[in-house]
Structure 1
Amino acid sequence: MVIAVVIRTTVTWIALATTAIFIALRVGNETEWPWIVIALPVLIFDVVYSLVLCLGLWHHFLERSIHIPNNVSSAWRKLWLLFLFILNIIAVVVVCLRLNGDLSSSYSVVCIPLWIFLVAVTGDLTRLLVKDIKRRRDV
């Protein structure tokens, strides 16, 4: 379990660092890559993690079909995280299309998926923090 967290954290940092380097190269006019190529490391991470969540959901419902007790809240949590990752992928692709000039909408319209994603993540983290504070207070 601990090794899985370390691997996921390492892959996350590698994806973010690679994307930051690509952004620096693009902004510094060192390369003329399309913005979707610049965001590719983050997109690959999001797609892979979404597939892992889909497999987790499939396993969850497979266990349910053979009458093993399951945790319903974990299924809803996986669905919620899958929704957030898909929303993040949509936001990154739409912003990249706008930066390339392939999309003519204004930035306020283009960033709607990003704002929904940020509000949802903020609400989720607040809910988790409040739940943790209540749990610690009861102990």
Structure 2
Amino acid sequence: MKMSLAQRVLLSWIFALMFLIMLVLKLDSKIDWNWFLIFLPVWIFDTVLILMLVVKMAGRCKADFEPREGEQSLVRRLWYLMALLLKLAFCLFLCCRLERLTDMWVSVVCVPLWVLLGGALVELGHSVFHFRRD
């Protein structure tokens, strides 16, 4: 499943636009939908991304696969998978909190987001300073 850059950008914009329209309608009380339905474009988009990532990672298991970037590529893809799962956990906790299914504090709801942002800072710092040494 190979998508061009233009297709990926268009897909991202479509799902973001659908989510924002549904969010505005919910916040303006024009629709009385469940928060899980409002986040449906986010769930679908993240599922597509996870499937594409898993397919790329599974492609490394072929017998005739020759790694170009070594283990660095696999570690980076594992980080992407972890980041997507943390984002999904944050969205799930947020929906549960907004639907009042749980009585979690907002600070507890944001823990996956904070871990994701901290990991992104470490990844960014590692990539910037790793290339500077060369």
How many equivalent pairs are there? 130
Instruction: Give the Å deviation of 1:128.
Output: 3.3
Aligned twin of 1:51: 51
Aligned to 2:27: 27
Higher helix share: 1
Q: 1:88-136 CA distances to partner (integer Å, 9 max, x unpaired)?
A: 111101101100101111111111111111222233234334456x38x
Partner residue in 2 for 1:14: 14
Q: Which amino acid aligns with 1:73?
A: Q
Unaligned runs of 5+ in 1: none
2:39 aligned partner: 39
With over 3 angstroms needed to count, the CA separation of the structure-2 counterparts of 1:45 and 1:29, relative to structure 1, is: same
Q: Which residue of 2 aligns with 1:69?
A: 66
Whether 1:85 and 2:80 are equivalent positions in the alignment is no
- Could you tell me how far 1:27 is from its partner in structure 2? 0.6
Matching of residue 95 in structure 1 with residue 126 in structure 2: no
Instruction: Report the Cα distance in structure 2 between the residues aligned to 1:111 and 1:59, rounded to whole angstroms.
Output: 34
Aligned position for 2:112: 113
Once residues 68 and 17 of structure 1 are traced to their aligned partners in structure 2, the CA distance between those partners, rounded to angstroms, is 38
Cα drift, residue 49 of structure 1:
0.6
AA of the residue aligned to 1:16:
A
- Could you tell me the TM-score, scaled by structure 1's length? 0.83
Q: Cα–Cα, structure 1 residues 68 and 14, in superposed 2: closer, same or farther, change >3 Å?
A: closer
Q: Output the CA distance in 2 between the equivalents of 1:127 and 1:116.
A: 16
Give the AA of the match of 1:103.
Answer: T
Residue 24 of structure 1 aligns to a residue in which SS? helix
Question: In 2, Cα distance between the equivalents of 1:33 and 1:4?
Answer: 34
Identity between Structure 1 and Structure 2 (%) = 28
